Amino acid sequence: MVDGKSSGPTSLTGPVRKTLNDPNLRLKDIEDFKPIQVDKEFLTLPERVVNRLSYDQKICYHLIQAVITGPEYFDRFPFLRTASLGKLHEARWVTLLNAVLRLFCSTRKASGRLQRLVTFGVTVYGKSWFDALKHSSLVNAAPVFHCMVVSLR
């Protein structure tokens, strides 16, 4: 259990989840956070794929890039500083991940819980999601699934 127990779609009880309820989360200043470490060629989508993403998916992709690059990423994509994060609901993983990533970017020294949530969100969920979008042909299903399983180790 990373951030408390859950008994329903909006019932996570841990300290990170309680912070995500802040309606002004998207307006908080970007701090000088420490980027998470990933492989150099971790996750890069071609522009044609990024252009096909929904709004929430685009925000998620850019927040992942910010989290692995550092605060300077917001200088290249200033819209990201105040982008809407979507309605928070645990069943909507993309918007939940967006809120967790944005909280991380607004935290100078992340707690161990927040660090673990962000690392999992980026290296497992985010990478799997965007790999599937990048390689959306059925021919690529097995390799994408394999990579997802390997990332869970």
Render each residue's pLDDT in the chain as its tens digit; 153 residues: 345 555 555 555 666 666 777 778 888 899 999 999 887 667 788 888 889 899 999 999 999 999 999 999 999 999 999 998 877 765 677 888 899 999 999 999 999 889 998 998 898 888 877 777 666 666 665 665 566 666 666
Residues 6 or more apart from 101 whose CB is under 8 A from it? Answer: 60, 63, 64, 66, 67, 118, 121, 122
What's residue 1's pLDDT? Answer: 37
pTM greater than 0.85 = no
Q: 49 lies in a domain? A: yes
Q: 50 lies in a domain? A: yes
Q: 3 lies in a domain? A: no
Q: 6 lies in a domain? A: no
| Dihedral sign (CA 17, 19, 22, 24) | negative
Q: 116 lies in a domain? A: yes
What's residue 30's pLDDT? Answer: 94
For the chain, the domain total comes to 1
Q: 4 lies in a domain? A: no
Q: 2 lies in a domain? A: no
Q: 68 lies in a domain? A: yes
